[in-house]
Amino acid sequence: MKAGRHFPVFLSAAATALLLAMPAHAGMAEREPPSAVLWLFVIGIAALSWVMACRRWWLPMAVWLPAALFIASLVADFADPVIGPAVREELGLTYIFQADLAGALMLVVPLMFANIQFSRKD
């Protein structure tokens, strides 16, 4: 068995552990993931996408769907008429900007790696 075969399983287990470590109670802002966790997700998705793209060019698409659903739920919270202003008041606009930037990277990076590997196959 190859040594790198369990790497994606390790990354998904680490991401799940980070999600479970977040508090699920208290104020509006505590429901949102900290910006450090968002950037760890970006790094994890980038690493996982790169490893998967080295295997098959289309495999990063499997990472894209859960990332898109996560980002959609995050943006939906910001657009909510009750939760959005509370998050902006508690965490500030810099958090909103960082979350949007991290979300955009989470959506673009898997597609970028798939495109790079697909263009090399031609």
Condensed to tens digits (0 to 9), the pLDDT of residues 9-53 reads 555 555 555 444 444 445 667 889 999 999 999 999 999 999 999
> What pTM was computed for the model?
0.72
The CA angle 60-61-66, to the nearest 5 degrees, is 105
Over range 63-87, report the average pLDDT: 93
CA gap 87, 35 in Å, rounded:
13
pLDDT confidence tier of residue 120, bands split at 50, 70 and 90: confident
Mean pLDDT for the chain overall = 83
* pLDDT recorded at residue 9: 54
pLDDT confidence tier of residue 1, bands split at 50, 70 and 90: very low
Higher pLDDT, 122 or 77: 77
* Residue 64, helix vs strand vs coil: helix
